[in-house]
Homo-oligomer: A and B are copies of this chain.
Amino acid sequence: MYTIGIDLGGTNIAVGLVDENYKIVARDSKPTQIGRDYDEIIKDMGEVANKLIKDNNLSLDDIKYIGIGAPGVLDNENGIATDNSNFHWTNYPIREKLQQYINKPVYLGNDANVAAWAEYISGCGKGAKNFLMLTLGTGVGGGIILNGKLHSGSHNIGAEIGHTTFKAGGNQCGCGNKGCVEAYCSATALIKMAEKDVSKYPDSVIAKAEKINARVVVDAARENDEYGVKLFNEYVSNLAQVCASIINFLDPDVIALGGGVANAGDFLLDKVNEEVKQYVTFSSMMATKIMKAEMGNDAGIIGAALLGE
């Protein structure tokens, strides 16, 4: 048996056929063309999925279910996309609509939650009881698994770890509030930090970079560039405090870090794992591991394809 995972992004509707070992055995996609009527997007989803089944010489009987990961607030219980500001969906009956094109059980999840679910079932969270994932990219996405279950809250608006307060009254966040985790721990935040004082460090490799991004800062720190080290240490200190807050709050087995900044790998993880201890209340009993997410770009498709597990 196979399942189908659909990762609905702003650019593409990515569809994957996933086997029982959680591997994508075939994939296809269509452009999302954001802004068009949502019924057309759902129709395209159905067409790509049906084509994928046919192209692989399978029938509907070989498909257990379909999972969809999408931005915004998804209500899996009722099969509804409650709110999606990018797609302008409000209470859109996504399950019922898709079943008009492909009659299978349909599971829904928020895209960040779905990526965390993939990581939990098949990546660095395997075997954990309580697991959190932070995606350190343009923003900070979050996913929470507690007692083996995806936790999106009583009204599906939780797991927005990026918008919990980290420094009240501090840096402006894109959400309108000040001091959110996202305004300190996203790749965007790291870039802003670097841009702020770069003129004071004209000899830094960061000042000489064509364009400042997270990788430029991390590489500068690796090379012991003074400004790079300063920025990286500040970022690590912020991230370590955020991880410690998560541990003091929920005490998970694993916190997975994904997204662009996590590509720094052990250079980042070793420092965060070390520094986190000083902020954990019962640090001598702390056993949470902070790890790099393993699933990469396929987490969206695979996580969606695992939503029925």
Cα A239 to Cα B230 with chains together (Å) = 33
Hey, what's the 0/1 contact readout for A247-261 against B, CB within 8 Å counting as 1?
Answer: 111111100000000
* Segment of A37-45, A49-57, A166-174, A265-273 engaged in the interface with chain B: A166-174
Hey, what's the 0/1 contact readout for A282-305 against B, CB within 8 Å counting as 1?
Answer: 101111100000000000000000
Hey, what's the 0/1 contact readout for A209-253 against B, CB within 8 Å counting as 1?
Answer: 000000000000000000000000000001001101101111111
**CB <8 Å contact, B249 and A282:** no
Rounded to whole Å, the gap between the CB of A151 and the closest CB of chain B is: 7
Cα A278 to Cα B159 with chains together (Å) = 18
Rounded to whole Å, the gap between the CB of A44 and the closest CB of chain B is: 27
> In the complex, what residues of B have CB within 8 A of residue A278's CB?
177
Q: What's the dominant secondary structure at chain A's contact region?
A: loop
Given contacts A146-B151, A252-B153, contact A165 B286 (CB under 8 A): no
> In the complex, what residues of B have CB within 8 A of residue A279's CB?
165, 177
Closest B residue to A85 by beta carbon equals B282
Interface positions, chain A 123-180, Cβ under 8 Å from B, are 128-130, 142, 144, 146-147, 149, 151-161, 163-170, 175, 177, 179
- A73 near B: Cβ within 8 Å? yes
**CB <8 Å contact, A152 and B281:** no
> In the complex, what residues of B have CB within 8 A of residue A253's CB?
154
- A186 near B: Cβ within 8 Å? no
Cα A231 to Cα B118 with chains together (Å) = 46
- A19 near B: Cβ within 8 Å? no
Given contacts A165-B242, A166-B165, contact A250 B282 (CB under 8 A): no
28 sampled A-B residue pairs with Cβ under 8 A? A73-B282, A82-B285, A83-B285, A129-B154, A130-B154, A146-B151, A147-B147, A151-B250, A154-B288, A155-B285, A155-B286, A155-B287, A155-B288, A156-B251, A157-B248, A157-B282, A157-B286, A158-B247, A158-B249, A160-B282, A164-B245, A165-B166, A165-B167, A165-B242, A167-B167, A167-B179, A168-B238, A177-B278
Q: List A residues at the B interface (Cβ < 8 Å).
A: 73, 82-83, 128-130, 142, 144, 146-147, 149, 151-161, 163-170, 175, 177, 179, 184, 238, 241-242, 244-245, 247-253, 278-282, 284-288
